[in-house]
Structure 1
Amino acid sequence: MDIYKRYIKKYRLLFLTAVSCVFFEALCDLMQPTIMARIIDDGVKNGQVATVIRFGLLMLGITAAGACFAGTRSVLASKVSQSFGADLRYDVFAKIIGFSEISSDKIESGSLITRMTNDISQVTQFINGMMRIFFKAPITCLGSMILAVMLSRQMSIILFLVVIIVAVFIVISMKLSYVRFAKVQYAIDKVNSVVQEYLMGVRLVKAFGRYGDEEEKFDGANSDLADKTVSSQIVIAYFSPLMSLTINLGIVLILFIGSILFRQSNIEVGKIAAFINYMTQILASLIMITNIFNVFVRTKASTERINEVLSSEEDFKGSQQELSYASGDLEFKNVTFAYPNGSGLPTLRNLSFKIHSGETLAVIGPTGSGKSTLAWLSLHFYDVLEGAIYFNGLDVKTLDSNILRENIALAPQKSMLFSGTVFENIAWGNPQASQEEIVKAAQAAQADGFIRNMPAQYDSNLGQGGVNLSGGQKQRISIARALVKNAPVLILDDCTSALDAVTEAKVRQAIKQFDTHKTVIMITQRIGTAMFADKILVLDNGVNVGFGSHQELLQSCITYQGIFDSQIGGDLKGIAYG
């Protein structure tokens, strides 16, 4: 388990101190049966009260020392395990933040939540247990066996036979448990995913009245989790009693053979009592070791899932570290792209176009034509299959993704707001923005009016996802957030779909006046939005079927003509030509 090495090295001193305490605590436990044998054989048998008191006080002192060691290792174990868990959670979250889109598509968000919580908690518990009792069990078991052999070699044969049988049970139990515990973790993923999906689409579920379907879906995932958990526990339920039975039968045999040896004067009563105590300690240790292996099996499954996150592909890191922040030239050159985990069919095919800094490009086309994909590729969320994308003359593959994205502001198709105030949500695009810049961006996005009417205006709190705002209000705050970033390139990915035509026109005009040198890419379904752009790119099934001005496309592009006719009407085409 490689992920442990780094953290154990970090907390090495505390870890070694705790393990040392466990070792001395185990030694204290191991000494007591031998001392008890001395009390019986040397003190009680011979009527030596002083001997009984002397060894009794020694036993009390060793017990007190063992308690001190136990308390120290418990405190250290809690400190190290919780610090370990906190560090691991931070590293996993930092890794998720740096995920490439391929990694984000590969592991569902519900599964990531399970790995961040349930799996890391399992690992934390394992570390805590390892420092508290996991080391103690094998030390106690081995020590008890050695001291038992020293007491009686004849009875030790039974001891070794019992240990071998129990060891076989433990190995079989581990092999049967591992696969089952791994399935339990994935079943937890499924339950979390179903709940998360419902919470994200709760309004849609209510609108369509599909409560029954959602309950049925959850019941299926919940029942599957219960079945897999029971299946994993059945192994423990069968093997634990078998191991206890084996060890108790061993104790019965030891009592029988011990009585024979005692009658033959080959062993003393105190040694028989000590041997039984060591056998009891071995019993407790073996049961503990069995539990350790069960916890280890679950932890191993969780560790592999955590490692899958930590080894996932990170966002693109190019070698070029400098990029002009003054201009926003963008060029697609023979770009072909298909989503890595999709159908395999290209979403964009041999796409080429170029826009210069300060120009406005509208991207229009039928649903599924690849318009939003163009935005994701501009931000280098994915690598293209063929061709290249150039930003200010530099291939985006040579740029660090963070540096590239500092130069591009995005207002996405689905407005995503965060818990906090209106001011904080807009300033999310530029944390250093002043109050004046925030207000200016909100005015350009036509959001200042409704914000002023809110109870606390810009200090009004928004619910998670902006649930207390309408769709159009969320879109305008999203646009303001993109504007306040003041990046050379602004991408508006169909983010005005909830706005009426008049408000949209005001937003479009205000954006142009906000920064005349800004390159604007408007992805839209509306011909009324696209027709005012400097250039229009028409996509159809991922192919560039038209590129030019509104007037040029009305004359040369059949797809554009069809969109114009369906939205505005063929009877107005003559006016448009004029």
Structure 2
Amino acid sequence: MSSDDAPSEARGSSPVETQRKSATLQETERIQAGPGPGRGPMGGGMVGQKAQTFVPSVKRILGRMRPERTKAVLVVLLAVVSVMLTAVGPRILGHATDLIFDGLIGRSFEPGTTKGQVISALRERGEDRQADMLASMDFVPGQGVDFDAVRNVLLTVLAIYLAASLLAWLQGYLLNDVVQNVVRRMRSDVEDKVNRLPLSYFDRQPRGELLSRVTNDIDNVSQTLQQTMSQLLTSLLTVVAVLGMMLWISPLLALVALASVPVSLLLTKQVMSRSQGLFITQWRKTGTLNAHIEETFSGHDLVKVFGRRREAEARFAAENDELYTASFGAQFVSGLIMPLMMFVGNLNYVLVAVIGGLRVASGSLSLGEVQAFIQYSRQFTQPLTQVASMTNLMQSGVASAERVFELLDAEEEVEDAPSTGARGSLRGEIRFEDVAFAYDPERPLIRDLSLVAEPGSTVAIVGPTGAGKTTLVNLVMRFYDVDHGRITFDGVDITTLPRTELRSRIGMVLQDTWLFEGTIRDNIAYGRPGATEAEILEAATATFVDRFVHSLPDGYDTLIDENGSNLSAGERQLVTIARAFLADPVLLILDEATSSVDTRTELLLQKAMAALRSDRTSFVIAHRLSTIRDADVIVVMEDGAIVEQGTHDALLAAHGAYARLYDAQFAAGLTPDAV
């Protein structure tokens, strides 16, 4: 699509986008209003869409796990059992501490006395607090530490922790499988979505920005799910299990520990509310920078030729600085959560230790119970701290997911009509009947256009830049659908044909060549994958590719990169023309297809195409009028309308628009008036 025929400003708005705008979109609109990727000569305007909120995006990510629900349930069960075993460990270890402490206390008293006698003696001496503490202990005067009992307790704890670790490993393995399947389906959905999007979407979206969503953002979602899902699930279950154990040991100390939760949640909420917007900005800036890099690299030769290297570097530096600022702000603000949570946790630890010590002294709790409770208090604040430390990664991943969801939610092409199978022999008659079309409803481009291309004829379309020439053939390809009227292919309205079926009848060669990394043979065979070697050579010979291939080191097996840098511009064009010829289309569209070849090759191509016109209709868009002199019909367009049509000689004799164009090229030369 020529930027002359479809200005990016005309394509950048749609009723759907207008309806979706809200106050939260103002910042996006402000950014896009200024200079940015795609607002230069190499791309369209950036699409602004409202970012979703955090919670709905998380729900949507979790909703994509439904196909893995069985594994997900098993992951949760394994996590529950693993966390419960881990939570029981400190309580049993506390019993080992009690055994050791009881043995040390018992050994300090004379054997032969009873526990009751020791306590009574302490009370008689007025040492009631010590007596209360010993009353809660299970010791035997004169008996030391029962190391056999301690060993059994430690072995039990070791077995519990080994079992918990094994279950945690299995849970992580299954969760990894779930996450990778979710991301794999997301990539597949994005790929399918891209293939269902209309051409107008890509006209509005800079390629670097789109690639950033498809690659960087999906990778970031994958990394976020991988690093946070297991830890988040385990942390939440740990909080519940540990809270239950703390309430069992001491409701009073549990209330002390719980007092830190509201403070932690309040601090986390305040930080998250500030950092979420910063992460969205970070990934938007990433897409902006990628778009500029892609745009500059793809037009590297032009940047060099016009001496714009310093401007490109300055713009890169400015956008790189903006990305640095956004990334630094997002990471710094979200990074505040961890130290804040640690501070609150340390305060909680001090309170638990002090109050727990007083409870031991009063005999309300044993030393092992307080030890276990201190461990639980750490285990209680640790998962909260872990969740808080994951918020920066979680917010970054959700911000990326929102950008991917915006792509998945983009408006698609109108659904194809069902295929009706064979439609008889194809002749190649194309009719435009009162066709009207506009990229922007307020700026009509084509109005009431009617045209007939007879089977086997060559129709040349000429006119000044912006007249609608490329738009006309893109309507035939159904890259866009007409607003009014209809286009028929052999008497059938093309809107009733599936796009794949319609485009399989058409071969198109653009002014801008497109080659993929592979051999010359592979690039030609792209036009018809099942073609034989003889058919490939026949197409190459007909389009004079065979003439230069033999001068290459490996002939047809010569590897070329995606830019075809080891071929000249004319040779690359010949390969694309050979590809179209191999497809053997009913309708052939050439959009300035010979503009990159030399005059001698152009004449040879005209002869080759003339030999093919007997069984194929051709549309030829050309600015060089010498290439279309022998066309059956020459259509002259101005401002989206046909102002003249006829043969070369008839149009020259009419002394109209075509004659003026012809005189400008061949009679007046390149004078200011001619231009």
Instruction: Tell me the TM-score normalized by structure 1.
Output: 0.94
* 2:426 match: 326
Unaligned runs of 5+ in 2: 1-56, 103-138, 140-144, 670-675
* 2:455 match: 357
Alpha-carbon offset, residue 105 of structure 1:
2.3
> Pick from 87, 91, 96: which aligns with 1:30?
87
Q: Distance in 2 between matches of 1:462 and 1:234?
A: 46
* 1:113 match: 211
* 1:412 match: 510
Superimposed CA distance per residue, residues 367-398 of structure 1 (whole angstroms, 9 cap, x where no aligned partner): 22111111211100012222222222222222
> Pick from 420, 426, 436: which aligns with 1:336?
436
8 Å contact from structure 1 (residues 254, 276) kept in 2: yes
User: Is 1:471 matched with 2:569?
Assistant: yes
Q: Distance in 2 between matches of 1:368 and 1:55?
A: 86
Q: How does 1:26-425 map to 2 (within 5 A)?
A: 26-45=83-102, 46=139, 47-322=145-420, 323-324=423-424, 326-339=426-439, 345-425=443-523
8 Å contact from structure 1 (residues 120, 302) kept in 2: yes
> Pick from 481, 488, 497: which aligns with 2:586?
488
Superimposed CA distance per residue, residues 426-481 of structure 1 (whole angstroms, 9 cap, x where no aligned partner): 11111111222212222222222011221121111112221111111111111111
Superimposed CA distance per residue, residues 31-78 of structure 1 (whole angstroms, 9 cap, x where no aligned partner): 111111211224542433232112111100001111211222232233
8 Å contact from structure 2 (residues 196, 412) kept in 1: yes
8 Å contact from structure 1 (residues 43, 52) kept in 2: yes
Change (3 A) 1:570 1:251: closer
Give secondary structure in 2 for the equivalent of 1:196: helix
Alpha-carbon offset, residue 120 of structure 1:
1.3
8 Å contact from structure 2 (residues 256, 352) kept in 1: yes
Report the residue type matching 2:431 in the other structure.
Answer: E
Q: Distance in 1 between matches of 2:424 and 2:412?
A: 25
Report the residue type matching 2:439 in the other structure.
Answer: Y
Give secondary structure in 2 for the equivalent of 1:229: helix
Alpha-carbon offset, residue 82 of structure 1:
2.6
User: Is 1:14 matched with 2:75?
Assistant: no
Q: Distance in 2 between matches of 1:146 and 1:547?
A: 87
* 1:498 match: 596
Q: Distance in 2 between matches of 1:194 and 1:147?
A: 56
Q: Distance in 1 between matches of 2:453 and 2:645?
A: 11
Give secondary structure in 2 for the equivalent of 1:568: helix
Q: Distance in 1 between matches of 2:205 and 2:661?
A: 38
8 Å contact from structure 2 (residues 457, 613) kept in 1: no
Q: Distance in 2 between matches of 1:525 and 1:320?
A: 38
Alpha-carbon offset, residue 200 of structure 1:
0.4
Superimposed CA distance per residue, residues 140-185 of structure 1 (whole angstroms, 9 cap, x where no aligned partner): 1121112111111222221111011111122222222211111111
**Greater Cα offset, 421-430 or 393-402:** 393-402
Report the residue type matching 1:361 in the other structure.
Answer: V
Q: Distance in 1 between matches of 2:604 and 2:370?
A: 96
8 Å contact from structure 1 (residues 546, 557) kept in 2: no
8 Å contact from structure 2 (residues 100, 150) kept in 1: yes
Give secondary structure in 2 for the equivalent of 1:466: coil
Superimposed CA distance per residue, residues 192-212 of structure 1 (whole angstroms, 9 cap, x where no aligned partner): 111111210111122223221
* 1:437 match: 535
Alpha-carbon offset, residue 7 of structure 1:
4.8
8 Å contact from structure 1 (residues 317, 399) kept in 2: no
Alpha-carbon offset, residue 3 of structure 1:
5.4
8 Å contact from structure 1 (residues 22, 131) kept in 2: no
Alpha-carbon offset, residue 237 of structure 1:
3.0
Alpha-carbon offset, residue 9 of structure 1:
2.9
8 Å contact from structure 1 (residues 162, 246) kept in 2: yes
Change (3 A) 1:543 1:132: same
**Greater Cα offset, 546-555 or 517-526:** 546-555
Q: Distance in 2 between matches of 1:262 and 1:38?
A: 14
Q: Distance in 2 between matches of 1:366 and 1:449?
A: 34
8 Å contact from structure 1 (residues 42, 48) kept in 2: yes
Q: Distance in 1 between matches of 2:653 and 2:629?
A: 13
Alpha-carbon offset, residue 557 of structure 1:
5.5
Alpha-carbon offset, residue 347 of structure 1:
2.9
8 Å contact from structure 2 (residues 239, 383) kept in 1: yes
Matched residues, percent identical?
A: 30
Change (3 A) 1:220 1:481: same
Report the residue type matching 1:289 in the other structure.
Answer: V
**Greater Cα offset, 377-386 or 311-320:** 311-320
Q: CA RMSD in A?
A: 2.0
Q: Distance in 2 between matches of 1:218 and 1:244?
A: 39
Change (3 A) 1:35 1:498: same
Q: Distance in 1 between matches of 2:664 and 2:591?
A: 21
Change (3 A) 1:52 1:249: same
Change (3 A) 1:6 1:168: closer
**Greater Cα offset, 370-379 or 204-213:** 204-213
Change (3 A) 1:6 1:253: closer
Give secondary structure in 2 for the equivalent of 1:349: strand
8 Å contact from structure 1 (residues 29, 66) kept in 2: yes
8 Å contact from structure 1 (residues 426, 438) kept in 2: yes
Q: Distance in 2 between matches of 1:140 and 1:344?
A: 61
> Pick from 541, 544, 552: which aligns with 2:642?
544
Change (3 A) 1:570 1:130: closer
Superimposed CA distance per residue, residues 99-148 of structure 1 (whole angstroms, 9 cap, x where no aligned partner): 21122223322122222222212222233235421110011112111211
Report the residue type matching 1:248 in the other structure.
Answer: N
Give secondary structure in 1 for the equivalent of 2:410: coil
Q: Distance in 1 between matches of 2:357 and 2:229?
A: 40
Q: Please identify the structure whose Cα radius of gyration is greater.
A: 2
Alpha-carbon offset, residue 273 of structure 1:
0.9
Unaligned runs of 5+ in 1: 572-578
